[in-house]
A = this chain, B = another copy of it.
Amino acid sequence: MSSTTPVAETRQDRFERGMEVLTRIDEEAGQKLTDALADVAPELGHQIAAWAFGEIYDRPGLAPRDRQLVTLGMLTAHGGCEHELDVHINISLNLGLTPKEIIEALLHSAVYCGIPKALNATLVAKKVFGERGLLPMTTQ
C-alpha cells in the first residue's frame, strides 16, 4: 500500500506497515529495535517504524539501495553513530550494495568529512564484513 493512499489508517495500521518495510530490508532489525525500546520509549520505536520506514523509506521516488548511499554519507558525517552505521551497513548489503561499493563510498567520504570520520566508518564496515564472512576483500 502506497504512502500516498487516500485510505484511512489507524496508528496500528501505520506501525504494521512500517514494520513490514523494516523487516523486508533487515529480518531482525525491527524486532530488536522495538524490543530495546519497549520498556523505556515505545513511542520512539513506533515512530521509527511507522514514520521513518512506513512513511519515508518506502516512498517510490528513490530506490532503497540509493537511500542507503545517502544514509551512509549522513551517518559517517555525523560521527558518534557507530551502532547505526553497523545496522545500515548490514541493510546496505541486504539491499544489493556490494562490499566494494560500500568501501568506496566510505573512501569517498574522506573528501567531504575528513579522514578521521571516514576511518571510523570503515572500521565499522570491517566489523560487519567480518561477521558476514566477507573478508578479506579482493584486491581493489
Contacts and interface: CB of A to CB of B under 8 A. Distances in A.
The interface centre, meaning the residue of A41, A113, A139 with most chain B CB atoms within 10 A of its CB, is A41
Contacts of A109: 70, 74
Contacts of A111: 51-52, 56-57, 114-115
A40 B10 contact: no
Interface string A59-96: 10110001101111111111111011000000000000
B77 A73 contact: yes
A136 interface: yes
Q: How large is the interface on A (under 10, 10 to 19, 20 to 34, 35 or more residues)?
A: 35 or more
B120 A80 contact: yes
B8 A81 contact: no
A9 B9 contact: yes
A25 interface: no
Nearest 10 interchain pairs by C-beta: A73-B73, A80-B80, A61-B104, A8-B8, A39-B136, A77-B77, A79-B80, A70-B73, A62-B104, A69-B69
Interface of A: 3-13, 36-44, 47-48, 51-52, 55-57, 59, 61-62, 66-67, 69-81, 83-84, 100-101, 103-120, 122-123, 125-126, 129, 135-137, 139-140
